[in-house]
Amino acid sequence: MATRSMRNVLAAVAFAGAASLALAACGSGGSGGSDAGSGAGAASGGVVTTHDTSALGMVYADSAGNTAYAADQEAGGTISCTAGCLDFWHPVLAGSASAAGLPGGAGFGTVKRPDNGQQQVTLKGRPLYTFTEDKKPGDTAGEGFKDAFAGHNFTWHALRTDGSAPAPSSSSSDSSGGGGYAGY
């Protein structure tokens, strides 16, 4: 019972942070849309929430409900997804209200991006991204996705709120790993 109450409190805090950011965004002169192909400028909103997906259950998501992913190769806060990688994987940025928008006590933090100096949200040291192939909130097309950019190979996983590991993908019909994008 205490866990359910804590989830309700965390959800309320996340909602309040999202509402605050939405109000702040209304007063700013910037556009709220994301431009595909504009690299790091095409980042997702900065508040982390949760979303119930049909495929994976409860996952962390950005303020728009887009599933949050992390790459195995970026454990420890090392950001390798830059340049062409950002055309497919958009960083979840903390923005100026990072403390208000991150669930407390869940291992969230930030790391400075090497390409533009912005603060990217992390979970247990792993930078968070959303995937352009997810077409609506709750989609999980990036789960187990493999790709390569600028000599870096990536394996991406949706971040489940219960911390459980993703199911092995060896039974997948595409065991060759050839379904990913190859960057320049």
Q: At 36, is the secondary structure helix, strand, or coil?
A: coil
Compute the Cα dihedral for 179, 38, 35, 45 and give only its sign. Answer: positive
Q: At 115, is the secondary structure helix, strand, or coil?
A: coil
Euclidean distance between the first and the last CA atom of the chain, given in angstroms as a whole number: 50
79 falls in which pLDDT band (50, 70, 90)? very high
Tokens of 111: 């790391």
Query: Is this structure's pTM higher than 0.75?
Result: no
The H or E element that residue 131 is part of is strand 129-131
Token pair 């991150």 in the structure block, residue = 102
How far is residue 70's CA from residue 76's CA, in Å, rounded to a whole number?
A: 11
99 falls in which pLDDT band (50, 70, 90)? low
pLDDT at 184 over 80: no
Average pLDDT, the chain: 73
Tokens of 103: 């669930």
Residue 149's beta-bridge partner residues? 152
Contact status, residue 46 vs residue 94, Cβ threshold 8 Å: yes
Q: What is the pLDDT of residue 163?
A: 86
How far is residue 132's CA from residue 35's CA, in Å, rounded to a whole number?
A: 11
Q: In this predicted model, what pLDDT tens digit does every residue of 111-160 receive, in sequence order? A: 999 999 999 999 999 999 999 999 999 999 999 999 999 999 999 999 99
64 falls in which pLDDT band (50, 70, 90)? very high
40 CB-side CA count, 13 A? 16
Q: What is the pLDDT of residue 170?
A: 41
Q: What is the pLDDT of residue 164?
A: 84
